[in-house]
Structure 1
Amino acid sequence: MAARKNDDAPTRVLVVDDDEGIRVLLASVLAAPGRTVASAATGAEALRLARADEYDAILLDRVLPDVDAVQIVTALRAAAPSAAIVMLSAVDDVEARVAGLRLGADDFLTKPFHVSEVLARIDAVRRRGTPAGDPDVLRYADLELDLAGQRVRRGGEIVPLTPTELRLLRFLLENAERVLSRGQLLDHVWRYDFGGSGEVVEKAVSTLRRKVDAGRQPLIQTVRGFGYCLRVEP
């Protein structure tokens, strides 16, 4: 389990890629006051680093020499549940992006990329869900989301969520008791323009439901033929 980072600590980024040139480039660009960078060439090394320290963002190559994408994303999620994962891939098409999101990535970046876009994507996934002026806490029933701390509690107990799950839950809380379509969820949570994928939304909602509703009164409801809704069923 990674040590909890102090509020005054710098933003930490983990770069995972077997291409040494990309690792060196990203490390040199990302290293700046208020931000520190670590790098790994393999999935095993990335997992060791993620377990030893807490990271705010992980830049993850989709193809690594020692582990497949599903295994490493799942393992990194367990080791660093609050980290935003930006997947890097040499393949640029709709199917590749959908596959990356289905694996659990929070964003997707195609190689070759411009370093300014990398910085923008990292900033974006860290900012999503916390615009200024919103109430500090969103609540529904015994569920609450602390916007400033990005923490979720259900019945007073902490529920660890990934950045994407936090954005999804926030949108549901902001629209409690309203039915939201898969397209609405995809647009507001993932913000992609490739037409939407019901499979991405269904998987994310299913995972969120397991975490939020496990052993408790169900709050995340499926409205067949329409979408999803946060509400207490009679």
Structure 2
Amino acid sequence: MKLLVIEDDATTGAYIARGLREEGQAVDLVDNGRDGLVQATAGAYDVLIVDRMLPEIDGMTLVKTLRGAGNRTPVLFLTSLGSVDDRIAGLNAGGDDYLVKPFAFGELSARVAALARRPQALEQDTKLTAGDLTMDLVTRQVMRAGRKIDLLPREFALLEHLLRRKGRVQTRTMLLESVWDISFDPKTNVVETHISRLRAKIDKPFPTELIQTMRGAGYRIEG
């Protein structure tokens, strides 16, 4: 497995690279975003490990640039920014996984291995559809019947979750865990509020409703 580590902290970068090499991986190490972008574009890597707070070009911009250019190499964000909003922002920028510092090396290694096992699926899933609705995960653009629909980051994440599970009922708990990273019921109406906002944008202006409420169960999208 060939890996690229983009980490500006010399101690952390050396620690990660040494540990991965001891496991038999081929590892390149870069300490800034500009060189990291060049290296990621030029090299054929199985996984990129990217710090969010980098000099020259920050990690979020680096990954967005790669995705915009059609590069679908799996990305693990590694950062001290660990709030729910930070993780959502990282995933919405094109990251595939998110690990917060300080971290256990064993967990990092396991996450990298899991990402390396599914690059082909990621390559195939750059566009999601339901009826006349399309979502482009590279350009972050949503269209329905030829009309562009502007979504806020969490609306986009919610719609992506439903589209990836088209035809399957998603409970409130599933949505809280996937979209908001909340593993308990906080007695909030955040799911219902965002479903309502999504419907106002992707359903109400059109003759056919895609988002269905399954009474007592949850929500699903058809098409």
TM-score class normalised by the smaller sequence: 0.5 to 0.7
Shift of 1:179: 4.4
Q: Is the 8 A contact 1:69 1:103 kept in 2?
A: no
Unaligned runs of 5+ in 2: 128-135, 139-158, 199-209
> In structure 2, how many angstroms separate the alpha carbons of the residues matched to 1:112 and 1:21?
13
Q: Is the 8 A contact 1:51 1:79 kept in 2?
A: no
1:88 maps onto 2:85 in alignment: no
> In structure 2, how many angstroms separate the alpha carbons of the residues matched to 1:93 and 1:169?
21
Shift of 1:52: 0.9
Q: TM-score, structure 2 length as denominator?
A: 0.59
What amino acid is the match of 1:52?
Answer: A
> In structure 1, how many angstroms separate the alpha carbons of the residues matched to 2:70 and 2:125?
16
Match of 2:95 in 1: 105
- State the identity %: 29
Q: 1:153 to 1:110 in 2, by over 3 A?
A: closer
Alignment partner of 2:8 out of 18, 24, 44? 18
Shift of 1:194: 4.8
Unaligned runs of 5+ in 1: 1-10, 130-145, 155-159, 163-167, 206-220
Q: String of CA shifts for 1:4-38, please: whole Å, max 9, x gaps.
A: xxxxxxx2211111111111111111115652111
Q: String of CA shifts for 1:45-87, please: whole Å, max 9, x gaps.
A: 1111111112221111111111234321201324573322111
Q: 1:57 to 1:185 in 2, by over 3 A?
A: farther
> In structure 1, how many angstroms separate the alpha carbons of the residues matched to 2:94 and 2:39?
19
Higher Rg: 2
Q: TM-score, structure 1 length as denominator?
A: 0.57
Match runs of 1:12-161 below 5 Å:
12-32=2-22, 35-78=25-68, 81-127=71-117, 151=124
Q: String of CA shifts for 1:185-206, please: whole Å, max 9, x gaps.
A: 574x6895556986xx99xx9x
What amino acid is the match of 1:95?
Answer: D
Shift of 1:44: 1.0
Q: 1:67 to 1:180 in 2, by over 3 A?
A: same
Q: 1:25 to 1:33 in 2, by over 3 A?
A: closer
What's the RMSD between the two structures over aligned residues? 4.4
